[in-house]
Structure 1
């Protein structure tokens, strides 16, 4: 009877010990909480938690991720529309904040990005928007980095996939001082960059 009791106790102890062993894969972290609050963040490796007190709240991938903003239109300052599509490259910067401070950080960031894009484009003419791509990416990147940090997200860059006036005629209305980009080969040919077919030769005079 005593041996049976010791066997049961040993089995329970072994089970609790096994339950307390947690393995975190490379490239991940595990957020551990105790009594419903953040206790610590485990890096990659094998760790021993206190059974019945500690629990893994979430496992987070530390790799780079991409948040896509699908194509949409925004009104420029001259009331012409601009088609915009971009992506945000980010990764988890503060695991605990990413778990506890934001229920859906990427969705909140997407909404803020949409608001910032519309605000930025509204202060420009549609024709000049494509020529200020770098400026817009930097402006949006700064806003996204600040907002992302509050949600445990480290924003690496904001990059446009599409940025152009929706209507072709709006693209030609450049303001003074803004130079157009390099013309395409087709455009150069149409503008007289290459000669067209020769007309009929004039008759020789005798």
Structure 2
């Protein structure tokens, strides 16, 4: 047994060394990972996902980097706005390693460096804005912080994807003042809305009254037009009947239209005096009795034997009277 160990011990040792070397040289890198390999203390290469063989006792995996997107919490810090108001702001930073060897040799701790750079960049951006703008322009603030970080982190092999402000906390006194301001603004908007509603209501009432007045005037206008048209039609009817009567009388008087007109005028004259005498209690005497006698004589002259006009019913009564 001692002879076997003496003769074959070195072979066993050699086999153990070979196994250890194989274990040391075989490397499997996971997906979305990168291994930075050094050879004899110097950067040699980067191993990405897959199976790799290294030179035993010569090549060493110095750094292991994840190529996934990383989320870093940026602690709360106090920033001073342009109008000298102190606010506490915290946020979240999203970044990704693009060049693993730069992240290993460009900076000792890229995560810590990115957080510090995010805080300083945020203070610089907030210092350019007033307090109200810090609440209104979060997107602009985030974009400016990302641009500053991305330019500074490029030598580290890190790509800054985005930065998001988590919370902005002003002092208690400022919050109370802002609450009062917002309450006053809400009351102002409510008063404006109420006044605008009342104004619109008055406008609507005025418009309704205007429309009603226009409709009423149009109705009255149409009524007057209808009355005028009725009166015109009545006048035309009376005129037509009068003309027809005169034409018949003129035919009876030997086609003498002048005599017919005189006869009609004399009849109207006598009728009016007769109506006044019947309806009134006063005694009416013509201003010129000769005119009245002349009118009667004219009627008698027109209605004479041989003119072909028969006496009107009741004319004898008037003559007797």
Same fold at TM > 0.5: yes
Contact 1:126 / 1:170 at 8 angstroms: preserved in 2? no
Higher helix fraction (1 or 2) = 2
Match of 1:126 among 121, 125, 131: 131
Contact 1:165 / 1:171 at 8 angstroms: preserved in 2? no
- The aligned counterpart of 1:140 is 145
1:168 aligns to 2:175 (yes or no): yes
CA RMSD of aligned residues (A): 2.9
**Whole-angstrom CA distance in 2 between matches of 1:21 and 1:171:** 64
- The aligned counterpart of 1:45 is 50
**Whole-angstrom CA distance in 1 between matches of 2:188 and 2:25:** 73
Gap regions ≥5 residues in structure 1: 175-182, 196-206
Alignment TM-score, normalising by the size of structure 1: 0.77
- The aligned counterpart of 1:203 is none
- The aligned counterpart of 1:201 is none
1:12 positional shift: 2.0
Contact 1:164 / 1:171 at 8 angstroms: preserved in 2? no
1:14 aligns to 2:12 (yes or no): no
1:190 positional shift: 9.5
**Whole-angstrom CA distance in 1 between matches of 2:13 and 2:128:** 74
1:102 aligns to 2:107 (yes or no): yes
Looking at CA atoms only, which structure, 1 or 2, has the larger radius of gyration?
A: 2
Contact 2:77 / 2:119 at 8 angstroms: preserved in 1? no
Give structure 1 regions of 4+ aligned residues with deviation exceeding 6 angstroms: none
Aligned residues: 184
**Whole-angstrom CA distance in 2 between matches of 1:155 and 1:15:** 41
**Whole-angstrom CA distance in 2 between matches of 1:143 and 1:154:** 12
- The aligned counterpart of 2:59 is 54
1:137 positional shift: 0.9
1:25 aligns to 2:30 (yes or no): yes
SS in 1 for 2:96: strand
1:16 positional shift: 1.2
Higher strand fraction (1 or 2) = 1
1:192 positional shift: 3.4
Gap regions ≥5 residues in structure 2: 1-5, 195-321
**Whole-angstrom CA distance in 1 between matches of 2:155 and 2:102:** 8
Alignment TM-score, normalising by the size of structure 2: 0.51
1:126 positional shift: 1.0
Give CA deviations for 1:88-113 in whole Å, capped at 9, x if unaligned: 10122111111111111111222222
